[in-house]
Amino acid sequence: MQAYMKSSMPYLGVPAVPLRAICKRLFGEIELKNARQWERLVLGLWENAKYREERYAALNLLEDHRALPFQKVATLKLYEKLIVEGAWWDYVDLIASHRVGYLLDTYPVPLKKKMLAWSRCDNLWQRRTSILCQLSFKEHTDLELLYGCIAPSLDSKEFFLQKAIGWALRQYAWTNPREVKRYVKTHSAELSSLSKREALKNL
C-alpha cells in the first residue's frame, strides 16, 4: 500500500472497507457538539497521525453526516489546510469532490470566487481541487466555472492537472457528450493528449 501510494508515511495495512466500519463505530460513540469541537477532532487525528490510515480516519470524520450543519464558507480554511498539507490525490480528490463540492453547492457565490482564485494559484493541489469540485454535479454543473478553472492549467505539463481536466470533462460527458466533444475540438491545440483521451474515453 505504501509503495503504491508512494507514501513517506507508513501504512498499517487496513483496507478501506474495514477502516470505514471501524471509524463509523468509534465516531458514533462521540457526541459532535459544535463545529469547533468537530474541527479539533479532525485536526487531532490529522496532525498526530503516524500512519496513513489515521489520516484516512480524519477524512472519514469529515464525511460524518452529523457534521453537515458545521459546513460553512469558513470551513474552506480547514479543507485548504488538509489539501495543501496532504498534497496527494488520495486525500485531495475526496475533499475536492465531496467536501468542497458540498460547500460550492451550498454557497455558490463565495465558493465560485474562491475556486477561480485557487485555479490560478501556485499550489498544484488547490488547482486540482478547483477542477474536480463539481464531479458529482451532473446537469447542475456550472460550465462557466468548470471552464474557468480549467483554463489556467490548459497548457500545464503537470500529470495531475492534465488528468484532472480529463476526468472532469469525462464526468460531465455523461450528462452532455455533445458539449464535451465541442469543447475538446475547440481546445484541441491546447489540451494535452492525456486530457483529450480521458475526456472522450466513454464517448
Assess if residue 76 is contained within a domain: no
Taking only the tens place, the pLDDT of each residue in 87-122 is 999 999 999 999 999 999 999 999 999 999 999 999
Q: Give the domain range for residue 23.
A: 1-70
Residue 23 identity (one-letter amino acid): C
Q: Is position 125 within any domain? A: no
Of the candidates 184, 82, 76, 187, which has an alpha carbon nearest to the alpha carbon of residue 125?
82
Phi, psi of 30 (to 5 degrees): -105, 130
Residue 53 lies in a domain: yes
In a domain, 33, yes or no: yes
- For residue 81, being part of any structural domain is answered with no
Distance, CA of 11 to CA of 152 (rounded, Å): 35
Total number of domains constituting the chain: 1
* Confidence bin at 200 (pLDDT 50/70/90): very high
pLDDT in tens, 165-188: 999 999 999 999 999 999 999 999
109 domain-assigned: no
pLDDT in tens, 18-75: 999 999 999 999 999 999 999 999 999 999 999 999 999 999 999 999 999 999 999 9
Residues 6+ apart with CB under 8 A from 59: 82, 91, 94, 95
Would you say residue 193 lies in a domain? no
Q: Is residue 123 part of a domain?
A: no
Cell 475540438 identifies what position? 185
